[in-house]
Chain A
């Protein structure tokens, strides 16, 4: 351990040391001596260009070609030896004149885990002294993984941090949950702090290449210092800075690759499709339907030319008809990707800078989809004097997401995937389906199909986001040990969403067949100012660290919404956006009024923290924060959030100090309280909102009305408080070859801000209440091992797994009322209440019927006089639930009569499982052999269920004909042997001897267990193979490092799940997770890239 010191040091420590013993004496009392030596690599090769400098001084030099240096230094100085790619060393001179140095290759994961510092909120501490539960990822760990979003890069890498992408569309927002999330109805996203400044959705806005480190504070003993916003965990992102005293380096990293759809769903072939239509049209014997089939698809049996002109080939023609694979046509694109990262950084003795540029161009696999990002980040640190330092960051990013996607949460009318799957699988050749792309009046809210390619070309969405981030830091060393720091940040987010619905789209059809443009402009401006005073002192065995701070966060936002209807159909999307004045309402119609709203958020805080270490063995930390937020009424604005944590470094005790097996062992205990103010503003009183949607006509035109929304005011609304208890052990064993940590926690949230369902007879549907309670209990394990570590070959593995159990303990006023649950619609189809929120159960419980299979002939009495089947007495009928109130027939879907009352009704619904995994995590294997490197990264989830709503929809008849289904429904119950309807029980039984599926159900959609599938998976998320070209070969080109690599993302997924991908969640609500409805299919990504440093 001797020569190895931390790679990243806080500026503070440097300053302190400088002021403590170097500055007063330096150059005056000290005698200078000449020191020389040779610097070699661990393979004994001389190293050129290695920086050798005296710590905290201007004295420095670099090694020559032979690796030799010479330098005049004070007798008792400390040398700092630095070279990129190698571990930094510090060596005390102690009067020696020859100091040879062997440099070890910089090795992420090894050793440095032990000594690194971590950011714990407003300050850093040595990881050895951390008392809280914190997961951390360093930039170099992400370096192997060429991905465009930081969220992808950290997925599966931190125990207890769950990163999921609801779907595979370009630029999809990740959902990040720390330890399961505490909230039921509110957002569970953690708080993001980038370089000290709050920044929403930071992981989507920052390029992984510019990240120095990410720390996730998981327990309330660490998040409590963030008070009101800490309940869902805090993600601290530090971006890369330049280093002082380094020569300017230029790094380029670029890659290009191609994405393809990872999996498609099998649908019925044209022949099966037409056979199915025949059955539908002929089943009930209505003549008009029988005739309609012939008019659409031709006669079932061939008709010779002698009887008709031209001859009719019959259904057999569909065996050979040209098939259209709509999935291929809509999602089959080979989508290219180009990513460029350029980083220039360097520094003088008093300043350092870094400039990062990032350009990403990503095609989506769907027609009209893609993602572009341009970003520039400039970071500059300057020491005005030894005492006063300033830093400045300016970042600007532009993100452009193209594509309306496959669905819009909240509206089944815009399910575009439906068209892809259900549209007839062949060309319009014969008169099939005329009018199927027309709007069907009678069932306008239900299924209606449009040619998916036509639709994809008519529904356009552009999402432009500009993000400006300015950050200034002033550090002032007031007196010895006392530092003042002020951070001022300004974050501005401008989002412009432009949507266009051209002819044949749903919106167009309800607006006189004219095009519709929707324009939304959103701006949020946030000013943050944090001022802290930090006092660090060491007296003998006592080490103290005090922090006192004050913070304000001021957020203002405004939004403009416009819907422009009645645009001429001749306009393209771009023309429409540029010329909305061309909209011309037909006689008697008017445009909707544009609407603006503002948002005002204010947070004022004071906080303090004290850290005390005794004898480098016993550590105690206490903190308290007081927050005031304008989300609450004047009487409930302020709240306090205390925390305390303890750690015992058992490894430092005498009985273990010299152990060969145990290098480090630490026990941590934490207790803390944090809060949540994430509710809609102004709900503590009845507030009126003006809207034309609340309007009324005075004959013609609309008078704007004012009304409160559907959430009842609650004057008593106050802070939500999360109390968490954490026990953890950090260990490092066998000469640090095996290291890791185990954490156990219980998080109780009381006064939960709950959007509680209240009796609708109040005139409202919901009310924010503080009376909910949830609990999360969990266990997390992180393990790392260096399995092989020799000169030529290293093999390391990192593994993490977490288990979390979420339980609802109370549901507010509902609990007091004596009921213990309420139902929630996920909304993929209107009015289907398919989730249950119940006390003593986890959030996200699927609620529906149990699939029993189908009714067989033995369930019926056959009436020979009129060839009809009647359900036997005692066999429960699923008619009213599954069949649109039709009496069951053989082959119909059978549901379980759970309460055995002989009727299948709402009382037979039950819990069908939930989306929470039993455990989840990831493991990473890193290999290095000479100049080759390779990494394999897997992530997994076990025991989670997925609600495959796609399958539910795509295996039902619903109220329409002429719709295709999933291929498995070709194996359905058959009533027809060819074109002949079979009613005789024996013949029917024989006909269905080999079929397994039921008759596609009619009536409304409902949830039954058939569509709840096990979503466990093991995914090879990333494979990268790289080759670094040795420096010698590149010297002539001025290149100091060159690495070529190839990567495959989403290589394979082992799962029993039948849909596109088990990692799915399309309804963006905590209450209704893991619904697979019209998700954008996931893609597989192959790329090759280069990384050059000059």
Chain B
């Protein structure tokens, strides 16, 4: 009887917590998380996993700031503002980064976390019941997501290789690996894999005209464009581990052919074209729209006003707006003083690419000095965002149609030993857009192999200034050391006012003028009241020595005299001061990353 009472008490308590068994009790599900199986059991959930992969392209440590604005400096177009410090972005720009430079850490990690996320998608989509036995439409969607994941993974590896050379490669999720202590894999092996993956992906991803998405999502032309880009990198030079020299990849012809074919496909398809209005291409990036010609094939989308999904484009870099103006942007990237003069006088790209003006505290347009011109393709005042906001939702142009044309021409020239008519026409299309209205000034395009190649080298400098491509282009052509030396020589001439810079004015005279943000870059510059000596056209001011003193009512701004000896070779302020050929073409890997993986070595003399 007593035992019965005990049992009744105990069972009352157990009823209070009704469980059929202990294991059921312990199997409580956490509804805030889902495992791989649950995550890929529908197209909608799979899509959020894919979005998680896209997420690793943007943000401060991706193409929101570091990968696109810090890492590509300096070439012969732009450099980072400010004095050298081996532990910050100036260390990167002057080729003097220490292994403890924190800017080298997070982007590297972010790329690998992107690879892991892509690997999870690539592994799980084929295992998904929706993929295996869903409707045809669902299956097509899953295929498309799979293709996008392949493409993003290739992009991540490409970004790793171009900055750090050989890196560890893994193609399955980390949990499926025996060990995650991976050594470096030769870049050519990774490139091979990516080129193969992208071929797979281009069969899975639809063309822009077949897909109802904006240019922030990957479409077939983006897959092919990236494949062409990687093929050219594979065919070109890069800094090798052993021996530590700049060397060309094996069998370049195979890869020129791949680049040629992919570009040709895009050109044939006709979903994308050159926008006759060069500026409109960049304006569209500022208001999250697409340019009418779909010239930007893939833009890294930025939105949300935070460091994870937005960019600091236009705030950190771009035309400078004084802190006290309606907009505030710091102008963190400055044009090399001579870059302005690489453009022809009639090239519409010049005043857009090199912002030789800025906005002062009273919202007036003023001129910038010769060393503080900025990358004007990005201008905070072109957005709707005012005030101190740092995240402006400006997208990054990852690949443009003009790049397809120029890659096509370059590949054609390499394959045929001289440019075909198609190649010449492709270059011509790019050139003539820049000289719209002044086609007579566009000049002629050489048709010999070397001349045509050199022409492309220069044309890419003009076309893509400030788009984070120049340094990597120069490396694959093995011209980085040459161009840095050449630029330093030009800067000396510029400072002295000799050679081609003999007539460059020491100072410019101007009046503060109202700024109208709706005006084109060129019109906005022209709206500044610059003193034009009698008998001179305004356009010639930059090519005519200045008066000895300021005309009444005009302020002066240093132009040629802004370039000092310090600017060229000072330990703190000098241009590319710490560059060493066959070493500094690549960044060191951040200390902590090396430390965490005993199989990973610095190499490259770091």
**Contact in complex: B304, A759 (CB < 8 Å):** no
Given A629-B26, A689-B32, A707 and B117 touching (CB < 8 A)? yes
Binding stretch for chain A, among B44-52, B490-498, B543-551: B44-52
Bound-state Cα–Cα, A527 to B289, Å: 54
Which single member of A474, A585, A600, A762 contacts B30 (CB below 8 Å)? A600
A588 with B388, Cβ < 8 A, contacts A479-B2, A823-B595, A906-B100 known: no
Q: Is residue B78 within 8 Å, beta carbon to beta carbon, of the partner chain? A: no
Q: For B81, what are the chain A residues with a Cβ–Cβ distance below 8 Å?
A: 442
Contact mask for chain A residues 692-716; partner B; CB cutoff 8 A; 1 contact, 0 none: 1111111111111111101011010
The 8 closest A-B pairs by CB, nearest first: A763-B116, A707-B52, A705-B51, A697-B303, A759-B597, A831-B102, A441-B330, A587-B384
A884 touches B54 (CB 8 A): no
Interface hit among A320-328, A364-372, A505-513, A853-861: A505-513
- Cβ distance B395 to chain A, nearest Cβ, rounded Å: 8
How far is B35's CA from A630's CA once the two chains are assembled, in angstroms?
Answer: 15
Shortest distance from the beta carbon of B484 to any chain A beta carbon, whole Å:
20
Subset of 22 A-B contacts with CB under 8 Å: A478-B2, A511-B305, A511-B389, A586-B389, A589-B385, A596-B32, A602-B28, A687-B35, A688-B33, A688-B48, A689-B32, A690-B48, A693-B306, A694-B308, A695-B51, A695-B55, A697-B58, A761-B168, A823-B595, A906-B591, A1003-B87, A1004-B88
Interface string of B132-161 (1 = CB under 8 A from A): 000000000000000000000000000000
Q: Which residues of B contact A527 (CB under 8 A)?
A: 17
- Within the complex, the shortest CB–CB distance from B28 to chain A, in Å, comes to 5
As a 0/1 sequence over residues 590 to 615 of chain A, the CB contacts with chain B under 8 angstroms (1 = contact) are 10100011111010100000000000
The chain A residue sitting closest to B598, CB to CB, is A817
Question: Known: A692-B304, A760-B108, A884-B87. Is A708-B120 also a contact (CB below 8 A)?
Answer: yes
Please give, as numbers and ranges, the residues of chain B lying within 8 Å of A411 by CB-CB distance: none
Whether B288 sits at the interface, judged by CB under 8 Å, is yes
CA distance A219 to B536 in the complex (A): 93
- Using A441-B316, A510-B389 as known contacts, say yes or no to A698 and B301 having CB atoms under 8 A apart: yes
A977 to B201, CA, bound (A): 71
What separation, in Å, do the CA atoms of A823 and B82 have in the docked complex? 31
Q: Is B332 an interface residue (CB 8 A)?
A: yes
The CA of A690 and the CA of B47, in the complex, are separated in Å by 12
Verify if B420 is at the interface (C-beta below 8 Å from A): no
Q: A441-B315, A705-B51, A706-B39 are in contact. List 20 more A-B contacts (CB 8 A).
A: A442-B332, A478-B6, A484-B6, A510-B390, A585-B305, A586-B384, A586-B389, A587-B384, A589-B391, A602-B26, A628-B26, A686-B36, A693-B309, A707-B53, A713-B175, A760-B109, A762-B116, A762-B177, A833-B592, A1003-B87
CA separation between A886 and B328, bound complex, in Å?
Answer: 32
Would you call B275 an interface residue if the criterion is a C-beta within 8 Å of the partner chain's C-beta atoms? no
Tell me whether B304 and A712 are in contact (CB under 8 A).
Answer: no
What B residues does A759 contact at CB under 8 A? 168, 180-182, 593, 596-597, 599-600
Chain A 1000-1022 interface mask (CB, 8 Å, partner B; 1/0): 00011000000000000000000
CB contacts (< 8 Å) of A476 on chain B: these are: 5-6, 9
With A694-B55, A762-B116: A604-B25 Cβ-Cβ less than 8 Å: yes
Determine which of A486, A586, A817 lies in contact with B13 in the assembled complex, contact meaning CB atoms within 8 Å: A486
The answer to whether A509 and B388 touch across the interface, beta carbons within 8 angstroms, is yes
Residues of chain A with a CB closer than 8 A to B115's CB: 763
Q: A589-B305, A833-B592, A906-B99 are in contact. Are A698 and B213 (CB under 8 A)?
A: yes
Chain A contacts with B in 612-648, Cβ cutoff 8 A: 628-630, 634, 637
Q: Mark B262-306, 1 if CB is under 8 A from A, else 0.
A: 000000000000000000000000001100000000000111111
> B214 and A590: CB pair below 8 A?
no
Q: Which residues of A contact B180 (CB under 8 A)?
A: 712, 758-759, 761-762
The answer to whether the Cβ of A296 comes within 8 Å of any Cβ in the partner chain is no
Q: Tell yes or no: B209 within 8 A of A by CB.
A: no
**A552 sits at the interface (CB 8 A):** yes
Contacts of A823 in B (CB 8 A): 592, 595
Q: In the complex, what distance in Å separates the CA atom of A697 from the CA atom of B311? A: 11
Sorting the interface of chain B by its residue count into under 10, 10 to 19, 20 to 34 or 35 or more gives 35 or more
Q: Is B167 an interface residue, CB under 8 A from the partner?
A: yes
Taken together as a complex, chains A and B put the C-alpha atoms of A822 and B17 apart, in Å, by 46
B10 proximal to A (CB < 8 A):
yes
Q: Does A830 contact B (CB under 8 A)?
A: yes
Q: Which residues of chain B from 369 to 396 have a CB within 8 Å of any chain A CB?
A: 383-393
Would you give the shortest CB distance from A400 to chain B, in whole angstroms? 29
By a CB distance below 8 angstroms, the chain A residues around B102 are 830-831
Asked if B454 is at the interface (CB within 8 A of a chain A CB), the reply is no
Q: How far is the CA of A929 from the CA of B448 in the complex (A)?
A: 111
| Binary per-residue interface labels of chain B (1-44) against chain A in the complex, 1 for a CB within 8 Å, 0 otherwise | 01101100110010011000011011111111111101100000
CA distance A817 to B17 in the complex (A): 47
- Given known A764-B116, A1003-B87, contact A600–B29 (CB-CB < 8 A): yes
Closest chain A residue to B21 by CB distance? A604
- Whether A529 and B13, one on each chain, are in contact in the complex, defined by CB atoms closer than 8 angstroms, is yes
A1069 and B542 CA atoms in complex are apart in Å by 60
Q: How far is the CA of A701 from the CA of B98 in the complex (A)?
A: 38
User: Inside 8 A of A765's CB, which chain B residues have their CB?
Assistant: 109
Q: B86 an interface residue at 8 Å Cβ cutoff?
A: yes
A694 contacts which of B51, B217, B315, B323 (Cβ < 8 Å)? B51
Which chain A positions have C-beta within 8 A of B23? 628, 634, 637
Kindly state whether residue A880 has any CB partner on chain B within 8 Å: yes
B452 within 8 A of A: no
Alpha-carbon distance A598/B385, docked complex (angstroms): 36
A861-893 interface with B by 8 A CB criterion: 880, 884-887
Per-residue contact bits, chain B 67-89, to A (CB 8 Å; 1 contact, 0 not): 00000000000000110111110
Contacts of B167 in A (CB 8 A): 761
For B98, the closest partner residue in chain A by CB is A880
Residues of B contacting A699 in the complex (Cβ-Cβ under 8 angstroms): 214, 216, 288-289, 301, 303
B→A interface (CB under 8 Å) = 2-3, 5-6, 9-10, 13, 16-17, 22-23, 25-36, 38-39, 45, 47-55, 57-58, 81-82, 84-88, 91, 96, 98-100, 102, 105, 108-109, 112-117, 119-120, 167-168, 170, 173-175, 177, 180-182, 213-214, 216-217, 288-289, 301-306, 308-309, 315-316, 323, 328-330, 332, 383-393, 571-572, 591-593, 595-600
Interface residues of A in 706-728 (CB under 8 A from B): 706-708, 710, 712-713, 715
Pairwise interchain contact B55-A707, C-beta atoms closer than 8 A: yes
- Chain A contacts for B175, CB-based, 8 A: 686, 712-713, 715
Interchain CA distance A1019-B308 in the complex, whole Å: 47
Chain B residue nearest to A438 in the complex (CB): B323
A696 & B51 in contact (Cβ 8 Å cutoff): yes
Least distance between B248 CB and chain A CB atoms (Å): 27
Bound state CA distance, A737 and B337, in angstroms? 89
Measured between C-beta atoms, what is the minimum distance from A107 to chain B in Å? 42
In the complex, whether A275 has a CB less than 8 A from a CB of chain B is no
- CB pair A703–B108 under 8 Å, yes or no, is no
B6 contacts across to A, CB distance below 8 A: 476, 478, 484
Contact (Cβ within 8 A) B309 A885: no
From B22, B58, B391, contact of A628 by CB (8 A): B22
Which residue of the partner chain, among B117, B173, B308, B383, contacts A693 with CB atoms under 8 Å? B308
Given A697-B303, A707-B52, A761-B600, A681 contacting B9 (CB threshold 8 A):
no
Contact partners of A689 in chain B: CB under 8 A = 32-33
**Cα of A220 to Cα of B174 in the assembled complex, Å:** 37
* Complex CA–CA separation, A703 to B5 (angstroms): 59
Contact of A757 with B by CB under 8 A: yes
* A588 contacts across to B, CB distance below 8 A: 383-385, 392-393
Candidate in B5, B51, B117, B328 with the most chain A CB atoms within 10 angstroms: B51
A439 and B388 within 8 A (CB): yes
Assess whether B288 is in contact with A700, with CB atoms less than 8 Å apart.
yes
Residue of B at shortest CB range from A817?
B598
Structural contact, A682 and B30, CB atoms closer than 8 A:
yes
- Given A707-B52, A707-B117, decide whether A513 and B174 contact each other with a Cβ distance below 8 A: no
Inter-chain CA distance A81–B48, complex, in Å, is 74
